[in-house]
């Protein structure tokens, strides 16, 4: 046997080189899992045969020997780790199609998609991205060129939800006392939910009437990884001023607390929205349909554009990364102008 054995504790380990034609393959030390030398020699011989078969058959042979489960396992064990929400998704993929070898990756992916017809396109895109990340990582460890899955075709979401002034006032009034305060910042400032719920008194400056929007996530800040100053509306200024005085003028600490008098949980990695239940309860009470928590941001952006704010300024105020992400609101403005002209006829 070309591989050499040595005993480490109760088990035997193997390492060495394997020659295939003119090529020499180095085998890093691995545990055979065997306590007797005879069993360890058999495991070593099987490993040599596997390596020779892979290299004789080329890349196709190497991808046949590596499974999706192998790649996901290696990816989960990497030094950087994996976000909790992504770990759950990868586990589901592992259990469903982990037994497929990489040469059957496309077939496995087709099986996965067929088993989840209820998934939204965005969820499918995320699942594909996670699977490909694991496959690339596993293949890189083995020195194999990773197979590629075809991209998921997703129609661009141009949803722009808007409320009338009466609907907006009715919905804000319908929130329970704990959710009403953060909801006002969603409606008036266009901030993301986690930017509001993770707001700290250190980020509120009454002298300049500004809020610094941040989302604390493993040291990172906002979604675009930068804090941004957000000028306060008069309603928000008065709300926060009153809350600050009522709290004893704190220098630091969470601005908003849940109904349990605890800071809101950061669900950036887990997914979900802490205000979802309170929001849908308020929507039912206000008789508002098809309006999600995140739609406050769309409503705010559309009103800003209709009020004459240009898209570049909107991008900066809302913390979007590019103008392309706010172009949808330009169409809202065009529709609003058309309606205004028609009223003049």
User: Which listed CATH number (1.10.4080.10, 1.10.443.10, 3.30.70.520, 3.30.930.10) goes with 165-343?
Assistant: 1.10.443.10
User: Which tokens hold the place of 252?
Assistant: 């630091």
Nearest to 312 by CA among 299, 294, 329: 329
Residue with tokens 């003028």: 249
Q: Domain spans of the chain?
A: 3-57, 66-142, 165-343
pLDDT of residue 225: 46
pLDDT of residue 320: 87
pLDDT of residue 79: 77
Note whether 90 and 83 are within 8 A (CB): no
Q: From first to last of the 345 residues of the chain, give the pLDDT tens digit.
A: 578 899 988 899 998 888 876 778 788 888 888 989 989 888 888 888 777 766 655 555 555 678 899 999 989 888 777 776 678 888 989 999 999 988 889 999 999 988 888 777 778 888 898 999 999 998 888 777 788 898 887 655 566 788 999 999 999 999 999 899 999 999 999 999 989 998 999 999 999 999 998 755 444 444 444 578 999 999 999 999 999 999 999 999 999 998 888 888 877 656 678 999 999 999 999 999 989 999 999 999 999 998 889 999 999 999 888 888 888 887 776 655 555 556 555
252/279 Cα distance (integer angstroms): 27
CB neighbour list of residue 137: distance below 8 Å, 6 or more residues apart: 71, 74, 75, 78
pLDDT of residue 342: 61
Tell me the whole-structure pTM to 2 decimals: 0.57
Residue with tokens 């030390």: 29
pLDDT of residue 224: 43
Locate the DSSP E strands across the chain: 3-8, 11-20, 23-31, 204-205, 210-213, 228-231
pLDDT of residue 93: 92
Burial status of residue 130 (CB atoms within 10 A of its CB: 0-12, 13-18, 19 or more): buried
- 31-49 burial: b if 16+ Cβ within 10 Å, else e: ebebeeeeebbebbeebbe
């Amino acid at each position: 046997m070309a591989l050499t054995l040595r005993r480490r504790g109760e088990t035997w380990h193997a390492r060495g080189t394997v020659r295939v034609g003119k090529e020499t393959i180095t085998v890093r030390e691995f545990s055979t899992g065997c306590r007797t030398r005879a069993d360890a020699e058999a495991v070593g011989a099987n490993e040599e045969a596997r390596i020779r078969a892979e290299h004789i058959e080329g890349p196709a042979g190497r991808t046949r020997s590596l499974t999706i489960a192998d790649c996901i396992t290696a990816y989960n064990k990497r030094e950087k780790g994996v976000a909790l929400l992504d770990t759950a998704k990868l586990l589901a993929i592992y259990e469903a199609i982990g037994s497929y070898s990489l040469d059957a990756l496309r077939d496995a992916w087709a099986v996965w998609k067929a088993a989840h017809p209820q998934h939204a396109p965005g969820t499918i895109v995320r699942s594909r991205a996670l699977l490909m990340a694991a496959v690339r990582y596993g293949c890189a460890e083995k020195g194999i060129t990773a197979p590629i899955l075809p991209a998921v075709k997703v129609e661009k979401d141009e949803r722009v939800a808007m409320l009338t002034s009466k609907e907006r006032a009715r919905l804000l009034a319908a929130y329970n006392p704990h959710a009403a305060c953060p909801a006002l910042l969603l409606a008036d400032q266009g901030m993301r939910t986690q930017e509001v719920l993770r707001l700290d008194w250190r980020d509120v400056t009454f002298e300049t009437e500004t809020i610094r929007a941040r989302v604390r996530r493993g040291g990172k800040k906002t979604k675009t990884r930068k804090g941004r100053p957000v000028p306060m509306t008069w309603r928000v200024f008065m709300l926060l001023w009153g809350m600050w005085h009522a709290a004893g003028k704190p220098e630091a600490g969470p601005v908003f607390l849940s109904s349990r008098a605890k800071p809101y949980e950061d669900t950036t990695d887990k997914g979900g929205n802490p205000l979802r239940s309170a929001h849908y309860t308020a929507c039912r009470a206000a008789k508002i349909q098809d309006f999600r928590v995140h739609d406050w941001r769309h409503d705010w952006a559309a009103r800003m554009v209709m009020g004459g704010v240009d898209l570049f300024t909107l991008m900066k105020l809302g913390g979007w990364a590019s103008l392309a992400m706010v172009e949808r609101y330009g169409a809202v403005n065009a529709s609003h102008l058309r309606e205004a002209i028609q009223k003049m006829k």
